[in-house]
Structure 1
Amino acid sequence: MLIYILKRLGLALIVALTVSVIAFALLRASGDIATALAGEGATPESIAVIRQTYGLDRPVVVQYFAWLWDVARGDFGQSFFFRTDVAGLIFGKIGNTLILGGASLAIALALSIPLGVLAAIYSGSMIDRAVTMFSLLGQALPSFFLGLALIMIFAIRLRWFPASGTDGWRNFVLPAVTLGYYITPPFMRLVRAGMIDALNTDYVRTARAKGLPARRVVFKHALRNALVPVVGLVAVQLGLLMGGSVVVESIFALDGLGYLAYQSISYRDFPVLQAVVLLLSLAYVVLTLLSDIINAWLDPRLRAA
């Protein structure tokens, strides 16, 4: 198990370094940062001053390693627009994104697991087709459309929940439902497929032959094994939630990392955008690593492979 963890950790470090290179290169590929900061009509002299002030006159490789060294020490630089430390700015907002991601994941699991089990038990019936249609609808609806529809119904017309802000738990309900419903389909399909395979295995047929109650057979024997691949998907979807929250946080003006990324793009705040992209990518890498380790612990066949 230790050798497996060390191998996965080494691969994760390589991916993390690759992500840092891509995050650094993409912003440079978008154009001359000094010219963008100087604005339209800036003189060559003012552009040269900005380039020298922020170290943009150095070779790109030197800039990358200097930036990587600062990031390793927790220094993400200064925000061009907010005029404050980028690290403090990000860590002051990451809590809202984590709350949104956790709540969305809880909603997705609360919907997908019982629906997936129900669809598997009644495979091929009207119940199965209805659950499948519910899943397809969640996958077909864009998150921004669902978010705006929820605002129109529950915030403006019914006034049950606020449409924006982060004043309390009620502000997270509509964004969490939007993101949670959006990621429900892959969980539901995975649970349904796993349950159908588990219900047709020899150990489940043996448990039924022994006269065990149907509920115990389904939830203790079949569901326990069907949920093993769901663990890996949880980590992947949580990483996607953190990165994909940009649209939802912008719609609901939720003061998290997604909304901060939207603001940094609008204001051309390159240090903030670069740090957000890097942190969200690293979070995805770490969560994927954890899911691999948990799956290997649950399923010895993965360690053997």
Structure 2
Amino acid sequence: MLLYILRRFGVALSVALTVSIVAFLLLHLSGDLALAIAGPEASPAQVEQVRIQYGLDKPLAVQYLDWLAGALHFDFGRSFYFRETVAALVAERMPVTMTLGAIALGLALLVAIPLGVVAAVNRGGWIDRAALVFCVLGQAIPTFWLGLTLILVFAVNLRWLPVSGNATWAHFVMPAIALGWYAVPAVMRLTRNGMLDVLASDYIRTARAKGLRWPTVLFKHALRNAVVPVVALAAVQFGFMLGGSIVVEAVFSMHGLGHLAWEAIGRKDFPVVQAIVLLLASIYIGLTFLADLINAWLDPRIRVA
């Protein structure tokens, strides 16, 4: 198990390093950063002064190593637009995005896993067909359209929920539904397919032949093995939700990390964009690594292989 953990950690570390290089280079390839900071009306002398002030006159490799050393200490420099440290901005906005993502993932799993189990047990029946239709609708409806529809129905017409903001728990209900909706079809299909494979296995037939109660066979023996790939998918979906929160937070005017990224891109605030890209990618890689460890714990065949 220790060797498996070290191998997976090495892969995660190499991916994180690659992402940091890509995030650093993409912004530098977007144009002259010194000119973007100084503004189009700045004189050549002013542009050169900005270049020296922000260390943009150094070789690219030196700039990357300086930036990476600061990032390891959670020091991403200062925002060009907000005129405060990037770390403070991220720390202020991160709880909103993490809370939104956690609630959205919880709602998605709460709906998708039971629906997948019921669809597998009733394979070929009307419940199974209805679940598959629900999956198609879930992937066909855009997140922003669903968010606007929820606002129109529950905020404007019924006046049950607030339209925008993140002050109370009620502000997270509609954004979490809009964000988690897209993850439901993938989790449901994976749960259904896993349950179908497990229910057709020999040890399930043996358990039934021994007279074990059907709920015990279904939830204690079948679901535990069928849920192994769902763990990895849930980690991936949570990473997607953090990245996809940019659209949802913009629709519902939630001041989270996604909204900050949208503001930074529009204002060419490069240090903020770099920090958010690296941070979200690191969280995504960390969740994938954690999912690998949980899968190895649930299924010993993975770590043996």
For the aligned pair, the TM-score class normalised by the smaller chain equals over 0.9
Q: Give yes or no for the alignment of 1:64 onto 2:64.
A: yes
Name structure 1 gaps, 5 residues minimum: none
Aligned with 1:271: secondary structure? helix
Q: Give yes or no for the alignment of 1:228 onto 2:218.
A: no
After TM superposition, give the deviation of residue 31 of structure 1 in Å: 1.1
Aligned with 2:212: secondary structure? coil
Q: Work out the CA distance in 2 between the residues paired with 1:76 and 1:234.
A: 29
More deviation in 214-223 or 142-151? 214-223
The residue aligned with 1:203 is: 203
1:70-110 Cα offsets, whole Å, 9 max, x none, are: 11122110011111111111011111111011100110001
Q: Work out the CA distance in 2 between the residues paired with 1:158 and 1:97.
A: 26
After TM superposition, give the deviation of residue 6 of structure 1 in Å: 0.8
Q: Work out the CA distance in 1 between the residues paired with 2:260 and 2:21.
A: 22
Aligned with 1:218: secondary structure? helix
State the TM-score, normalizing by the size of structure 1: 0.97
The residue aligned with 2:117 is: 117
Alignment of 1:64-103 (within 5 A): 64-103=64-103
The one-letter amino acid paired with 1:133 is V
After TM superposition, give the deviation of residue 224 of structure 1 in Å: 1.6
The residue aligned with 1:5 is: 5
Q: Give yes or no for the alignment of 1:218 onto 2:218.
A: yes
After TM superposition, give the deviation of residue 60 of structure 1 in Å: 1.1
Contact in 1 for aligned 2:232/2:292 (Cα 8 Å): yes
1:131-164 Cα offsets, whole Å, 9 max, x none, are: 0111111111111111111111111111111111
Alignment of 1:142-291 (within 5 A): 142-291=142-291
Contact in 1 for aligned 2:105/2:238 (Cα 8 Å): yes
More deviation in 194-203 or 38-47? 38-47
The one-letter amino acid paired with 1:73 is H
State the TM-score, normalizing by the size of structure 2: 0.97
Q: Work out the CA distance in 2 between the residues paired with 1:42 and 1:289.
A: 47
Aligned with 2:303: secondary structure? helix
Contact in 1 for aligned 2:225/2:299 (Cα 8 Å): no
The residue aligned with 1:27 is: 27
Q: Work out the CA distance in 1 between the residues paired with 2:29 and 2:61.
A: 14
**Identical residues among aligned pairs (%):** 56
Q: Work out the CA distance in 2 between the residues paired with 1:100 and 1:139.
A: 20
1:146-204 Cα offsets, whole Å, 9 max, x none, are: 11111111111111111111111011000100111111111000100011111111121
The one-letter amino acid paired with 2:48 is A
The residue aligned with 2:18 is: 18
Q: Work out the CA distance in 2 between the residues paired with 1:40 and 1:164.
A: 35
After TM superposition, give the deviation of residue 15 of structure 1 in Å: 0.9
Aligned with 1:93: secondary structure? helix
After TM superposition, give the deviation of residue 241 of structure 1 in Å: 1.1
More deviation in 123-132 or 275-284? 123-132
1:20-52 Cα offsets, whole Å, 9 max, x none, are: 100101111111111112223222122112111
Contact in 1 for aligned 2:143/2:182 (Cα 8 Å): yes
Q: Work out the CA distance in 2 between the residues paired with 1:210 and 1:10.
A: 45
The one-letter amino acid paired with 2:242 is M
Aligned with 1:92: secondary structure? helix
Q: Work out the CA distance in 1 between the residues paired with 2:74 and 2:203.
A: 52
The residue aligned with 1:45 is: 45
Aligned with 2:182: secondary structure? helix
The residue aligned with 2:126 is: 126
The one-letter amino acid paired with 1:43 is S
After TM superposition, give the deviation of residue 211 of structure 1 in Å: 2.6
Q: Work out the CA distance in 2 between the residues paired with 1:221 and 1:293.
A: 21
Q: Work out the CA distance in 2 between the residues paired with 1:207 and 1:301.
A: 21
Moved over 3 A (4+): none
The residue aligned with 1:54 is: 54
